[in-house]
Structure 1
């Protein structure tokens, strides 16, 4: 029964995205919701200016509709489902406001960093207090050991840091055609398998709904992209995968399964720190995917390489959690 639900979930979310995109992309173009390109970015990206963005709306619609429909096929949507949708929609709404301000109101920076951070923290705290209300375990398991660290009241700080940190990390990864769509699909696919192994079927269904939506979006987002997801999609995906890791009690495993997002973030931290301390840059440009572009790699080569590395991280994470 559940195997069929999983299969139909990924097929449904894929088809919803594929069918909605050709309708939605011309609508975004008509509204002139086109991507702006940073002047300091790679010169090859300037030709992407004006490509419709905010395609994350399509992804969100597909995830929400598919998840609610398919969980209703074997039970009523439970707390896990509603919490995941809350975080995903909340971070997606925050990203939508950021995109809308940048594109429609012509304010290049969108929400200020303080406004965005405040929104991310508020959503994370709502998530935490709901979990606390239902007696959620505040211990963090250490991978490859039998140890766990009970953070007690400090778990709230950890949870906020995890949600905010990974929503921003995933956002940083969204810089090349198909890069985030592919790496995120791989990471969510890994967590779908891990949730299934724990019999957390609501979380598994949600995860594969995300995978299907991303694969459908990739049809239009692969190079040369016809649409970008914008912060609407990337912030939602980052919040969602952090929430899944927390609810499956595999918080630290996200560092491995989401290794691409971690590496991209570290490259930015290293770049900024090095420049402030020494006046020199470690990379030609950060995040890391731009360094390889400026080193002469084609955009497609960078994307496929990052997909492959992300897949290796995902396989290793599944191996450690399921078989070790």
Structure 2
């Protein structure tokens, strides 16, 4: 337990003290989110939160670099995502460039050894994916990366949902005897907690694409990393359930835009948080309700693990 607290504290303190510095940097380089038609805020707010979360996580994760080459791959892929997000926060980049960058980052972690390898077959054991595991893994990583990015629409929303998912992953990994994955999840949760001090309503800084994509990427990779030993449907159902809010919200958004014959990357104001706001909930109430939904999904995932449902 002491080791977990140590990793959490390092990441938390580094993120807590670097976030104001990153905020000032955002103002100096023009990484700012200005009020607009789709914006809920009414003032200029820096949107370069990614580097603060990254530095907090890195400070703790670096302690594990000598233990497993996959840790280095995870950090390298996360760095690519961070730089991609920083470029988008400052200048803006096209969806195609984002997709290429996310795919490159996914390939980096696959090369390091983090890959979905097995799929459960309820009739006779399991099926080894072989080379098919590569596109399967890329699809998972890119999908979750963008799902978390899409729910980053209110102060503290993506940060809080990510913390809930990370703490759940940390517990599950610990139960499975995967200490490295558990410590990495705790470290990232600590970094996001430190950042949340400035990101919760009313926010002084936003995650930006640098932060939301980094969180989505890391969560998706940790899910694969932590469940490599699992060969049952549970191994794939659990992370999907834990990430229920961003995944289901994204699926509904894609279906909604496809049915309306609109590009799937075209932004709108029909996400779950927009709908709750339109029903009269305040900004803070909306975020807390979605936190509650995320906790429900996480508790459901733990129940699945405990009861062996889908086993």
Q: Bin the TM-score by the shorter chain.
A: 0.7 to 0.9
Q: What's the secondary structure of 1:226's corresponding residue?
A: coil
Residue 215 of structure 2 is aligned with which of 233, 237, 240? 237
* Alignment partner of 1:119 is 2:101: yes
Q: RMSD across aligned C-alpha pairs, in angstroms? A: 2.3
Q: 1:322: how far off?
A: 4.1
* Alignment partner of 1:67 is 2:61: yes
Structure 2 alignment gaps of length 5 or more: 228-234, 263-267
How far apart are the structure 2 equivalents of 1:316 and 1:165? 22
* Alignment partner of 1:256 is 2:253: no
Query: Would the alpha carbon gap of residues 322 and 83 (structure 1) be closer, same or farther in structure 2, given more than 3 Å must change?
Result: farther
Structure 1 alignment gaps of length 5 or more: 102-109, 278-283
State the number of aligned residues.
296
Q: What's the secondary structure of 2:119's corresponding residue?
A: strand
How far apart are the structure 2 equivalents of 1:147 and 1:182? 37
Q: What's the secondary structure of 1:140's corresponding residue?
A: strand
Tell me which residue corresponds to 1:107. Answer: none
Q: How does 1:158-177 map to 2 (within 5 A)?
A: 158-177=136-155
Residue 119 of structure 2 is aligned with which of 140, 143, 148? 140
Q: What's the secondary structure of 2:42's corresponding residue?
A: helix
- Indicate conservation of the 8 Å contact 1:51/1:227, yes or no: yes
More displaced 10-residue stretch of structure 1: 284-293 or 117-126 = 284-293
Tell me which residue corresponds to 2:89. Answer: 99
Query: Would the alpha carbon gap of residues 271 and 285 (structure 1) be closer, same or farther in structure 2, given more than 3 Å must change?
Result: farther
Residue 111 of structure 2 is aligned with which of 108, 115, 129? 129
Query: Would the alpha carbon gap of residues 33 and 94 (structure 1) be closer, same or farther in structure 2, given more than 3 Å must change?
Result: closer
Q: How does 1:271-282 map to 2 (within 5 A)?
A: 271-276=256-261
- Indicate conservation of the 8 Å contact 1:178/1:218, yes or no: yes
For residues 295-317 of structure 1, what are the alpha-carbon distances to aligned partners after superposition, in whole Å with 9 as ceiling and x for unaligned? 22211111001101101111221
Q: 1:55: how far off?
A: 1.2
Query: Would the alpha carbon gap of residues 37 and 270 (structure 1) be closer, same or farther in structure 2, given more than 3 Å must change?
Result: farther
Tell me which residue corresponds to 2:42. Answer: 47
For residues 217-243 of structure 1, what are the alpha-carbon distances to aligned partners after superposition, in whole Å with 9 as ceiling and x for unaligned? 111100000000101011111111111
- Indicate conservation of the 8 Å contact 2:23/2:48, yes or no: no
How far apart are the structure 2 equivalents of 1:197 and 1:323? 14
- Stretches (4+) displaced over 4 A: 144-147
For residues 141-166 of structure 1, what are the alpha-carbon distances to aligned partners after superposition, in whole Å with 9 as ceiling and x for unaligned? 47x99953332221111111001111
- Indicate conservation of the 8 Å contact 2:116/2:136, yes or no: no
Tell me which residue corresponds to 1:314. Answer: 298
How far apart are the structure 2 equivalents of 1:19 and 1:274? 46
Using the size of structure 2 for normalisation, the TM-score is 0.88
Q: What's the secondary structure of 1:111's corresponding residue?
A: coil
Q: What's the secondary structure of 1:297's corresponding residue?
A: coil
Residue 58 of structure 1 is aligned with which of 32, 52, 60? 52
Q: What's the secondary structure of 2:296's corresponding residue?
A: helix
- Indicate conservation of the 8 Å contact 1:81/1:203, yes or no: no
Residue 179 of structure 1 is aligned with which of 146, 149, 157? 157
Query: Would the alpha carbon gap of residues 33 and 139 (structure 1) be closer, same or farther in structure 2, given more than 3 Å must change?
Result: same
Q: How does 1:166-245 map to 2 (within 5 A)?
A: 166-245=144-223
Tell me which residue corresponds to 1:88. Answer: 78
- Indicate conservation of the 8 Å contact 1:90/1:236, yes or no: no
- Indicate conservation of the 8 Å contact 1:141/1:252, yes or no: no
How far apart are the structure 1 equivalents of 2:236 and 2:242? 10
How far apart are the structure 2 equivalents of 1:13 and 1:206? 10
